[in-house]
Amino acid sequence: MSGTADATEAGTATVPASGWDEPEPALCTSALRKTYGGTVAVADVDLSVPRGAVLGMLGPNGSGKTTTIRMLLGLTEPTAGSVELLGHRVPEQTGRALPFVGALVEGPGFHPFLSGRRNLLRCAAMEPALFGADVRGAVQQALERVGLAGAAERRYRSYSLGMKQRLGLAAALLVPRELVVLDEPTNGLDPAGTREVRRIIAELHANGTTVVVSSHLLSEVEATCTHAAVLQGGTLIAQGELKTLLESGGPNLLVSVSDNESGLEALRQLGVPARVEGGELRVELSGTDSPEVIAALVRAGVGVYEARRDRAGLEEIFARLTEGET
């Protein structure tokens, strides 16, 4: 559907109704719900992931990330609600979407007695995009991309957790995908492996692939994602562009002072929220501005060495969002 206003020969312009030029999301859910007996694992989640986004799915342990991801891919049946994956209904039309979706989810079904390479060759044999193509070449390329080429002939069961993760990632990346879903991809990886996953996500993003990645690591989401969805106790409590989410945190002032405790006391009296972080004071500037803060500190006899504005980090916003909820 064209998103532009077309001038017709008669000179009238056809202006699309608001929202018509919004491209269809790569995936969306409506009132998606999963219960296990009396446990509500996922509670009426309406998630929308724009095409080309890298969405970080955040949430504490047990908040429903894996269950949501499994329902997105048709691996777990929802108790209620619906999923659309690349425009196809899940589970009814999952088969139409799956060739364009690469996924790394818990417990990929690799054969323990086969080598990493042979396992990937088995996966490749089931990829429609590789029918009649250079399957061995595709497997070698995927192994190299995840840094596993040197261990390709070893049996899967001898792999470390990190190597297993890498093989799962290689299987997800065997052919170019429209959407890649990664559940805790850095689980078990060393810092070098974590950096490689970041690089791979950045590469996918640059190629226009939509990525959904679940993580506990806020710093990782902050570094790699364009969008975030925050789950808490099965409920989606925030979603949207990461930039917007970060802006919602409001400005902070970082102040290096002669005495943190006296500084905190002065700010408490001013009614301004502040805490010590990294040896300096992090002051929330919601109802006040920097000069007032600095003046209050100076009045209280606290030496101010340096002050600079900063944004609230994802960690602070996440803590505020999830505070007090269960």
Ligand X SMILES: Nc1ncnc2c1ncn2[C@@H]1O[C@H](COP(=O)(O)OP(=O)(O)OP(=O)(O)O)[C@@H](O)[C@H]1O
Q: Among candidates 212, 165, 178, 210, which has minimal Cα distance to 71? A: 212
Which residue of 29, 63, 119, 215 would you call a contact of ligand X, by CB under 6 A?
Answer: 63
Which residue of 26, 54, 66, 285 would you call a contact of ligand X, by CB under 6 A?
Answer: 66
Site string for ligand X, 20-59 (x = CB under 6 A): ----------------x--x-x-----------------x
Any contact of residue 322 with ligand X (CB under 6 A)?
A: no
Q: Which is nearer to ligand X, 75 or 294 (CB)?
A: 75
Which residue of 29, 67, 210, 239 would you call a contact of ligand X, by CB under 6 A?
Answer: 67
Q: Among candidates 186, 212, 223, which has minimal Cα distance to 103? A: 212
Smallest separation (angstroms) from ligand X to the CB of 41: 3
Any contact of residue 61 with ligand X (CB under 6 A)?
A: yes
Any contact of residue 215 with ligand X (CB under 6 A)?
A: no
Q: Which is nearer to ligand X, 41 or 104 (CB)?
A: 41
Q: Which is nearer to ligand X, 105 or 264 (CB)?
A: 105
Please tell me the count of residues contacting ligand X according to CB under 6 A.
Answer: 11
Q: Do residues 89 and 83 make contact, with C-beta atoms less than 8 angstroms apart?
A: yes
Smallest separation (angstroms) from ligand X to the CB of 43: 10
The dihedrals phi and psi of 92, each to the nearest 5 degrees, come to -55, -40
Smallest separation (angstroms) from ligand X to the CB of 229: 12
Smallest separation (angstroms) from ligand X to the CB of 107: 12
Distance, in Å, from the CA atom of 135 to the CA atom of 124, rounded to the nearest integer, reads 7
Smallest separation (angstroms) from ligand X to the CB of 235: 11
Smallest separation (angstroms) from ligand X to the CB of 306: 38
- Per CB under 6 A, residues contacting ligand X are 36, 39, 41, 59, 61-67
